[in-house]
Structure 1
Amino acid sequence: MDTHQTPIRVDHIGIAVESIENAEPILMALGCERLTVEPVEDRFRWAYYRLGDASRLELIEPIEDDTFLTDFLDTNGPGLHHVTLEVADIDAVIESLREHDIRVIDRERFDTWTEAFVSPRNPTGVLFQLMEYHDDYHEKRLPPQDLFINESRVGELFQR
């Protein structure tokens, strides 16, 4: 099977919860360090954690009553929501997936990143979020050592 040659790595694992406050103690007991908590347009709130030197976890809780996250929790309960993969070239990865008849949904470009999702209707049953961070992603956010695995965007590591 031919695949792309684009650098790619796991950025973080997203876990859907009813309450960050109630779920956070288990992450702390595992040795996580909370890096940030942020709301997203009054729909949901996420908290980002570092575990060791190269692992990131994210807790996501609903703020509104009628969102994709409340639907997910109603259907599945708390648990794995998505796996975010940082990619150096999102177009190359999407093309490779489509060549292998894997459905890519909800592609969107934002000011500082581009994302797309691999439908969970695949043999793994997992929702994969593909993220390509733009050069200025870290501006007005945490410093690169807190945001990125190995302190750099995945593409930068392979340009050195």
Structure 2
Amino acid sequence: MGREVEKIDHVVVAVKDAEKAMRFFSELLGIEFDEIGEERNWKFKSYMSPEGLELLVPTSEDSETAKFIEKRGEGLFALSFKVSDAEKIAKKAEEMGIRIIGKIEREGFKEIFLHPKDCFGIQILLTEYKDYHGCTVALAMERKEDKYI
């Protein structure tokens, strides 16, 4: 079996206030962020740094991000691994009893979410893309209809 994971792609941090969090990371580490946009179905806004830090801000009190912050506070929300074949790993995960809790697909980009209760308390993202950083794809392409599960 070949190597399935290429690298850790990005780290997702759930925050209440994007401006406050961006100021913090900018002042402390010199990190700058680009707004990726709002994900209406999942009810969050996303901001990404070139270093691979993504800030996730809930846009609704009933979103998974808001529930996470309410229950556990701000902090590590998910860890994304860049993989060569997200579907193949997702199938393997299901065979191991790991629940798939979501999927986002866009042209040239796929992300599959694994349940944190099945992954040592960390939501794992299987992120598949080719020649560009997967989370910044929204900045470079026209908005297309996403597919969700």
TM-score past 0.5 threshold: yes
Report deviation, 1:83: 0.6
Number of aligned residues: 136
Distance 1:80 1:116, change over 3 A: same
1:59 counterpart letter in structure 2: L
The 1-side partners of 2:66 and 2:74 are apart by 10
Report deviation, 1:91: 2.2
Secondary structure of residue in 1 paired with 2:67: helix
2:23 counterpart letter in structure 1: P
Residue equivalent to 1:45: 45
Distance 1:46 1:32, change over 3 A: farther
The 1-side partners of 2:50 and 2:13 are apart by 14
Task: Decide which moves more: 98-107 or 40-49.
Answer: 98-107
Structure of larger gyration radius? 1
Report deviation, 1:61: 1.0
Report deviation, 1:58: 0.9
Structure 1 segments of 4+ aligned residues over 4 angstroms from their partners:
134-140
The 2-side partners of 1:96 and 1:4 are apart by 14
The 2-side partners of 1:77 and 1:123 are apart by 19
Residue equivalent to 2:144: none
1:75 counterpart letter in structure 2: K
Percent identity of the aligned residues?
A: 24
Residue equivalent to 1:141: 139
- Say yes or no: does 1:88 pair with 2:84: yes
- Say yes or no: does 1:62 pair with 2:58: yes
The 2-side partners of 1:99 and 1:85 are apart by 19
Report deviation, 1:29: 2.9
Contact kept? 1:112, 1:135, Cα under 8 Å:
no
2:44 counterpart letter in structure 1: F
The 1-side partners of 2:122 and 2:2 are apart by 20
1:110 counterpart letter in structure 2: R
Report deviation, 1:127: 0.3
- Unaligned runs of at least 5 residues, structure 2: 141-149
Report deviation, 1:4: 5.6
Secondary structure of residue in 2 paired with 1:93: helix
Report deviation, 1:11: 0.9
User: Equivalent of 1:75, from 67, 71, 78?
Assistant: 71
Residue equivalent to 1:152: none
Residue equivalent to 2:22: 24
Report deviation, 1:75: 1.1
Distance 1:65 1:95, change over 3 A: closer
